[in-house]
């Protein structure tokens, strides 16, 4: 673990692509993610309740999506990158059996604060589940 390398601000260029990250969407990830984020809203663990709410199956909660976005960006920048903000917008829901593919690129650099902005999207079979930006401060 301690071998994980963190990008220096000077290592990062505008337009750099983040390594893609594929997330298989499972009942365990959706329900487990909801509980790990203390979100007991029935639509995230109870299929009957989700259908009452107008969805075909349980759907991922936004707090799990935020966690996965942190993972995607942190795996790229390394353990010493520090998150300044994490802004996401949800689109197509993540239902079990689908796969979400994260893509991202560096869209802004601020040398005075050594901060890189990453613009990202996580796409499933129905379109973009999530779009957003993350600002990380680098060593």
Which residues lie near other proteins (CB under 8 A)? 1-2, 4, 29, 32-33, 36-41, 43, 47-48, 51-57, 59, 61-71, 74, 79-80, 82-90, 92-93, 95-98, 123-128
Residue 15 or 111: which CB sits closer to other proteins?
Answer: 15
Residue 16 or 80: which CB sits closer to other proteins?
Answer: 80
- Contact indicator for 9, 117 with CB cutoff of 8 Å: no
Taking the complex as a whole, how short is the minimal distance between the CB of residue 63 and other proteins, in angstroms? 6
Residue 18 or 66: which CB sits closer to other proteins?
Answer: 66
Query: How far apart, in whole angstroms, are the C-alpha atoms of residue 91 and residue 53?
Result: 17
Taking the complex as a whole, how short is the minimal distance between the CB of residue 18 and other proteins, in angstroms? 16
Taking the complex as a whole, how short is the minimal distance between the CB of residue 10 and other proteins, in angstroms? 19
Residue 53 or 108: which CB sits closer to other proteins?
Answer: 53
Taking the complex as a whole, how short is the minimal distance between the CB of residue 110 and other proteins, in angstroms? 15
């Amino acid at each position: 673990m301690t071998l994980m390398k963190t990008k220096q601000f000077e290592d990062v260029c505008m337009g750099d692509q983040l390594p893609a990250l594929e997330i298989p969407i499972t009942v365990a990830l959706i329900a487990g993610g909801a509980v790990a984020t203390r979100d007991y809203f029935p639509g995230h663990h109870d299929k009957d309740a989700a259908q009452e709410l107008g969805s075909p199956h349980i759907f991922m909660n936004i707090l799990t999506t935020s966690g996965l976005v942190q993972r995607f960006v942190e795996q790229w920048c390394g353990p010493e990158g520090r998150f300044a903000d994490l802004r996401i917008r949800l689109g197509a829901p993540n239902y079990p059996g689908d796969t979400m593919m994260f893509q991202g690129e560096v869209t802004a650099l601020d040398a005075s604060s050594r901060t890189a902005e990453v613009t990202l999207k996580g796409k499933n079979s129905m379109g973009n589940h999530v779009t957003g930006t993350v600002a990380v401060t680098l060593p």
